[in-house]
Structure 1
Amino acid sequence: MQSWYYSKNGEQRGPVSLDELRSLVSSGGLNLQTDLGWKEGMTNWEPLGKIPTLLESAAPSSDLAAAPDSFNPYAAPTTSPDNLRASYSGGSLGEIEPGSVPLEVMNCIKRSIELTKRHFKIILPIGVVYLLLSMATGAVEGFVSRMVTGPVAEQGDMAFHPLLIPINLISAIVSVVLGAGLTRAALNIVSGKEAKVEHLFGETGKIVNIVAASFVFYIMVFIGLILLVVPGIYIAIRCSFFMTAIVDRNLGPIEALKYSYRITTNNTLSLFGLGIMSMLIVLAGVLALLIGLVFAIPVVTLLVPLAYRFLQFGPNALRDGATE
């Protein structure tokens, strides 16, 4: 049975079965005009009123029957979910066919530099809070570990203690929360939305999906690396946007990995080149007496969601009108 996803008031929900989605429409729980639906195989999210399969057994609700004549359930949506589509002055960008447009690496870098300059006043505090919390978490983990394993560690042996398990688990959860929050802030910046320090803590509800997807991702990469290295690198590149997809679309673990694999079609080498350029940017920041890292790291951080948006919507996602 194929899973469906729907968006209500800008918030993505699902998965649900086709019958469940039809029931929501029939009961008036969803708006045929403004709410969207999507399943795997569809190019774009569509207004529910434009999905024939959905309407075959869905009777209009009483609210729709009483609507004024000017209400047209088959009209194009007046709004789109903020977390699903980048917006621009003319409406919403439609997703391109995966692999139909080569990733423009240099234009992505140029756009990232522009956005970093433009939003540096908010990027800096977000980065500082992220760094301080990451360092604090690592320091606490290290301190407690030394307290627990000190006598054994001094002998130079690999120490293990049951108390280290919850400590390491808490540290990992904090890292996932901060990473997802940073991804949200970066997505907001490249999509023309407001970014706040509070966004670092706003994705806690997606921890389970991110952890599960990470587990599957690293297993696949590990197996690929065993198979002559190249397959591992290939898998790592093709599935690298799984966390971004989870944060952006609230997808499940497998759906996020599949979505990342789909949108990166025909762009493996371009993404590899983007990775090389990212390393060179960081290296340039290091050579600039480390001070350059204050600018280089935000540029590299924004490159990920910029590439993600480009693979979704094509070159238009890099326009001023598309991300402001």
Structure 2
Amino acid sequence: MSDIYKAPESELTNREENSDFGSIEKGIAGDYSFSIGEAISEGWQLSKGKKRTVWLGMLLYMIAATAISFIIALITGYPVFDFEGTTEVSLATSTIYNVLVTFVEMPLAAGLMMIGIKIARGSETSGTEVFAHFDKIIPLIITNIIMGILILIGLFLLVIPGIYLMVAYMFAIPLIVDQNLGPWQALETSRKAITKNWFSFFGFTIATILILLAGFLALLIGAIWTLPLFFIAIGVAYRKVFGAPQGA
């Protein structure tokens, strides 16, 4: 006889028992299941009804990125609208402009990743997620600098170490904004977890990039489907390894 007074199991408990939801502890220990085909297949299924959300996020990203580029161009004196290339630009000006644009746009890119992750987790999200993480701009910048330096060093060391780090650090950015980790902690957490299954993630990275490129090469029409698939499949992979923050 069932106990009608028994409290229903919480969503958190069910999530913890679900092998499709990892955690930082499980990820580092390699206690997760990941398959390239399953991640892409689930990403495709979850993209149904969510394409508009991803594309709205991408549209807002492009508008914001254009505005940021214009403002930074005004500040640095970079001729961003000189399409004919008639204006001479010093190396210092060009470098400062590109570095500033990259750094300021990082929270927007993190927001795009979080749209895919939240869809993969079944959480509420919208296109405006791209604007939700500017409070993390400093740790994102520090993470990007460290990651760039280490990957560059790795590429100089016979290339292979650099390729290894490119793949191993793929979840460092969402770990900053989603799990509130510090830069080095996020980099090491991503690296340790992915190293447990590195070749699968390497194949996954190549497969998702090829799918995305195929969509854009097909007269751009295919991108209607492949762009949402790209971000949501990455979200599925992240969920399987790291799940969601405690209490989320």
TM-score over 0.5 for the alignment? yes
Contact 2:173 2:186 in 1 (8 A): yes
Alpha-carbon distance in structure 1 between the residues aligned to 2:37 and 2:122: 20
Relative to 1, partners in 2 of residues 1:137 and 1:210: Cα closer, same or farther, differing over 3 Å? same
Q: Is the 8 A contact 1:244 1:305 kept in 2?
A: no
After TM superposition, the structure 1 = structure 2 runs for residues 179-194 of structure 1, keeping only pairs within 5 Å, are 179-194=109-124
AA partner of residue 65 (structure 2): S
User: Alignment partner for residue 63 of structure 2, among 126, 132, 149?
Assistant: 132
Question: Pick from 151, 154, 159: which aligns with 2:90?
Answer: 159
Change in 2 beyond 3 A, CA 1:163/1:273: closer
- Tell which deviates more after alignment, 215-224 or 192-201: 192-201
1:135–1:88 CA distance, 2 compared to 1 (3 A): farther
Paired position in structure 2 for 1:145:
78
Question: Does residue 1:213 correspond to 2:150, yes or no?
Answer: no
Shift of 1:135: 3.5
Amino acid at match of 2:236: L
Give the whole-Å Cα distance in 1 for the aligned partners of 2:214 and 2:115: 25
Matched, 1:227 2:172: no
| Other-structure match for 2:49 | 118
Deviation by residue 1:176-226 (Cα, 9 ceiling, x = unmatched)? 121122222222111111112332111111111111111111111111101
* RCO higher in structure (CA 8 A, sep ≥6): 2
Distance 2:122 2:17 in 1: 11
Deviations 1:56-89 (A, max 9, x none): xxxxxxxxxxxxxxxxxxxxx9575xxxx99489
- Give the gaps of 5 or more residues in structure 1: 1-76, 318-324
Aligned length, in residue pairs: 229
8 Å contact from structure 2 (residues 120, 235) kept in 1: yes
- Asked if 1:106 is matched to 2:37, the reply is yes
Assess, with a 3 A threshold, how the Cα gap between structure 1 residues 111 and 160 changes in structure 2: closer, same or farther.
Answer: same
Taking only aligned residues, the RMSD between alpha carbons, in angstroms, comes to: 3.3
| Structure 2 residue 125 is the aligned partner of structure 1 residue 195 | yes
> 2:133 and 2:100 mapped to 1: Cα distance?
16
Q: Match of 2:5?
A: none
Give yes or no for contact 1:237–1:268 (8 Å, CA) kept in 2: yes
**Residues 152-183 of structure 1: CA distance to partner in whole angstroms, max 9, x if unpaired?**
x737x652466984x55652343112112222
Q: Distance in 1 between matches of 2:11 and 2:236?
A: 22
Letter in 1 for 2:41: K
Kindly report which structure 2 residues correspond to 1:237-316, keeping only aligned pairs within 5 A, or say none: 237-312=167-242
Cα distance in 2, alignment partners of residues 226 and 118 from structure 1: 44
What amino acid is aligned across from residue 129 of structure 1 in structure 2?
L
Contact 1:130 1:200 in 2 (8 A): yes
